[in-house]
Amino acid sequence: MSSIAERIAQLRAEIDHHNYLYYVEAKPVISDREFDRLLDELTRLEAEHPELVTPDSPTQRVGGQPIAGFTPVIHRQPMLSIEKCNTAAELREFDASCRKVLGANACIEYVVEVKIDGVAVSLTYEQGKFTVGATRGDGKRGDDITHNLRTIKELPLVLRGPNPPRLLEVRGEVFMTRAELLRINELQRQRGEEPYANTRNLAAGTLKQLDPKVTASRRLRLYTYQVGAVEGIELTTHLQALDMLRQLGLPVNPHVTFCPTIEAVIACCEQWDSKRHELPFDTDGLVIKVNDLGQRQELGATNKHPRWARAFKFAAEQAITRLRDIEWSIGRQGELTPVAIFDPVQLADTTVTRASLHNTAILEQKDVRYGDMIVVEKKGEIIPYVVGPVVESRTGTETKIVPPTNCPVCGAPTVKYETNGSHQQRCTAGLACPGQIAGRLESFASRKNMDIEGLGETIAEQLVAAGLVKTLPDVYRLREEDLLKLDKMGKKKAQNLLASIEASKSRGLDKLLSGLTIPFLGETFSPVIARKYGSIDKLLAASVEEIASIPGFGPTRAAALHSFLHSPGGQKMIEEFRALGLKLTYDAPSGSEPGAGGGTALAGKTIVVTGKLKNYTRSQIHALIAQHGGIAANSVTKKTDFVLAGEGNETRGKLDKAKASNIPIITEEDFEQLLKPAPNGALA
């Protein structure tokens, strides 16, 4: 047994060494095949001797069974956010603010690091072994994601060197390269599913997977950039700390520049503004830090930000091009969306030729005209966006853009309508318009609604074009021979899609209502109405006035729902769903009863979300609000209980309106605190 244990220890050391050379040093010395042989031998020996398996073995990187949920982790040192700036003048103000504390003639040196657009994490090593990994959370406590972080090959499970610190808390950024996003999105398209929008959101969602095997399949990366709590070693500068992390085998952000003065910092920022697109990952700025750790201690921190750091945000890259045409796309509720078509321009290292103008109101507001020279930028370096026309370039030949009076897909008349204070043009054909049924089908099958895996945009369009789906219930009448007629649809793929369609029958009333694209309902209010009535029959028996009395509904939303349910088309669709075996009742999520620790923390509260949140997409936060009994509304009214404000929204109209009406404004951290159990087991 001792010889086997020694061989296992030797294999682990060799594999860890080669992982370090490959992922951290980028200097592999053996082939992939040789590496696989070592790992296969270790896997075999551990399978034969399970009593010798340890948590820090390389075989444990792709954990075992999915976990039940996330447990909170308290950070030994808070993970504070960093105050932002955008100009050289603001950087000089930062330097001046440091000198007010340290002295006008103090020698202040800085370190500039590329700010990776990923997910901040905290890694804890005890006696040299990786024990806990957590998300940033509210800065004081995060979620335990150790099972997922173990899947990242760069992350050492055991620190290198003979004398690692007794305790080491390391801050890092988990991210995904653009190449990996392309690979995953190609697989999504092959499965007929929606591609992911950007690397950051996918990385964040991947770290919140309960199954580490899913995480491992997505090839996340890691760079460390900061030391938190540490015991057993003295550090004096930030650069010294980074060097220590490298020696311990941790992957350190390689894009670090030492700057002896603030003017050197400004020059460095200007250089990176032009070369940032050469990086294989997304970045939205730089982080500037005081190098001397003693000076940092003197400068201290506010409740939210360290006074010794700034995040310099790059300006959105812009280009001027000529508008050539406007295309009108048809949404799932018949809304016509103008899409600008323009001469190709390079933005954020990609060629852009089109950008949505969102609705006719924005089109009129910007006064964009045919033939205009227009300013285009990428908001957040992801979404192409038309800033507006270059008015001084007009020659007088430009012409107004008029919304079509007939639907460009089916030819039916269009009408103007208003919603949330904005007007839009809509096709009047309803589900008779192929453009609408394809959009409705894609939405119906999406993850947030009926979750029919494999029925994405491409398959939806093919099903409608082939005449196989004319109404939503037709989805449940599809046969294998029907699907095999579609482009790139093999037998196995068709069988998987049919199995997913069958499984979707049990999703429940809330998901079905959300998937029907009823005006003013959607994923936010569908759980509210489903929870209230419990079954489609009880909902059908409710009057408009009764529905309107539900918090957050009101007469407009109630009338739209009641009208749909009692229209000939709506009634026919519901009866078809019933006959096809779909579940038309609602089961409350586990733990949603009063006192069960979830589901009622926000009961009856109307919440407006604005700005960019750190830990949630808009659909995720809306779903969480609904799960806890609240209502996520779009507009601030006298019925609003509070506004949940994310980043970048200090001048937004919703906040101004909330302040004027004395409506409380809470942060993401405040919101999460509302959902946490109080010491007596009730919700805080």
Q: Quick count: other Cβ atoms within 10 Å of Cβ 193?
A: 21
d(CA 239, CA 253): 12
Give 114's strand partners.
286
Q: Strand, coil or helix: what is 199?
A: helix
- Domain end marker among 313, 342, 362: 313
Q: What would the pLDDT profile of 55-73 be if each residue is shown by its tens digit?
A: 777 776 654 455 556 788 8
What is the rounded average pLDDT for all residues in the chain? 84
- Domain end marker among 264, 290, 313: 313
**Domain check: are 229 and 274 in the same one?**
yes
Contacts of 537 by beta carbon, 8 Å cutoff, 6+ apart: 584
**Domain check: are 454 and 394 in the same one?**
no
Looking at residue 663, what is its pLDDT? 87
d(CA 678, CA 72): 14
**Domain check: are 328 and 299 in the same one?**
no
Contacts of 71 by beta carbon, 8 Å cutoff, 6+ apart: 143, 144
Contacts of 525 by beta carbon, 8 Å cutoff, 6+ apart: 552, 553, 557, 626, 631
CATH number of the domain enclosing 570: 1.10.150.20
**Domain check: are 436 and 537 in the same one?**
yes
Beta strand residue intervals within 165-242, DSSP E: 167-175, 221-231
**Domain check: are 322 and 304 in the same one?**
no
Domain that holds residue 385: 318-405
- Quick check: 421 pLDDT over 60? no
- 612 in a domain, yes or no? yes
**Domain check: are 175 and 263 in the same one?**
yes
Beta strands at 221-231 and 167-175: parallel, antiparallel or unpaired: antiparallel
Looking at residue 593, what is its pLDDT? 42
Cβ atoms 74, 169 nearer than 8 A: no
- Domain end marker among 363, 389, 405: 405
**Domain check: are 165 and 281 in the same one?**
yes
- HSE (side-chain half, CA atoms, 13 Å) at 145: 26
**Domain check: are 437 and 379 in the same one?**
no
d(CA 635, CA 209): 32
Q: What would the pLDDT profile of 609-628 be if each residue is shown by its tens digit?
A: 888 787 777 767 877 787 77
**Domain check: are 342 and 390 in the same one?**
yes
Give 288's strand partners.
112, 310
- Of 205-209, 426-430, 479-483, 559-563, the poorest mean pLDDT is in 426-430
- 588 in a domain, yes or no? no
- Quick check: 360 pLDDT over 90? no
CATH number of the domain enclosing 150: 3.30.470.30
Q: What would the pLDDT profile of 276-310 be if each residue is shown by its tens digit?
A: 878 888 887 999 999 999 999 999 998 778 999 99
**Domain check: are 617 and 661 in the same one?**
yes
Count of domains for the chain: 5
Looking at residue 111, what is its pLDDT? 97
Interval 179-194 mean pLDDT: 82
Direct distance between the N- and C-terminal alpha carbons of the chain, in angstroms, rounded to an integer: 54
- Quick check: 684 pLDDT over 50? no
- Quick check: 323 pLDDT over 60? yes
What element of type H or E holds 180?
A: helix 178-190
- HSE (side-chain half, CA atoms, 13 Å) at 476: 18
- Please indicate whether residue 115 is annotated as part of the active site: yes
CATH number of the domain enclosing 347: 2.40.50.140
- 413 in a domain, yes or no? no
d(CA 648, CA 612): 7
- 128 in a domain, yes or no? yes
- 522 in a domain, yes or no? yes
- Quick check: 216 pLDDT over 50? yes
**Domain check: are 461 and 610 in the same one?**
no
Contacts of 614 by beta carbon, 8 Å cutoff, 6+ apart: 136, 646, 647, 668
- 73 in a domain, yes or no? no
- 601 in a domain, yes or no? no
- Quick check: 588 pLDDT over 80? no
Beta strands at 318-330 and 256-259: parallel, antiparallel or unpaired: unpaired
d(CA 492, CA 498): 10
Query: Looking at per-residue confidence, does 62 or 391 come out higher?
Result: 391
**Domain check: are 641 and 662 in the same one?**
yes
CATH number of the domain enclosing 34: 1.10.287.610
Looking at residue 649, what is its pLDDT? 47
**Tokens describing residue 225:** 């950039």
Annotated catalytic residue: which of 115, 153, 511, 614? 115
**Tokens describing residue 263:** 């003017």
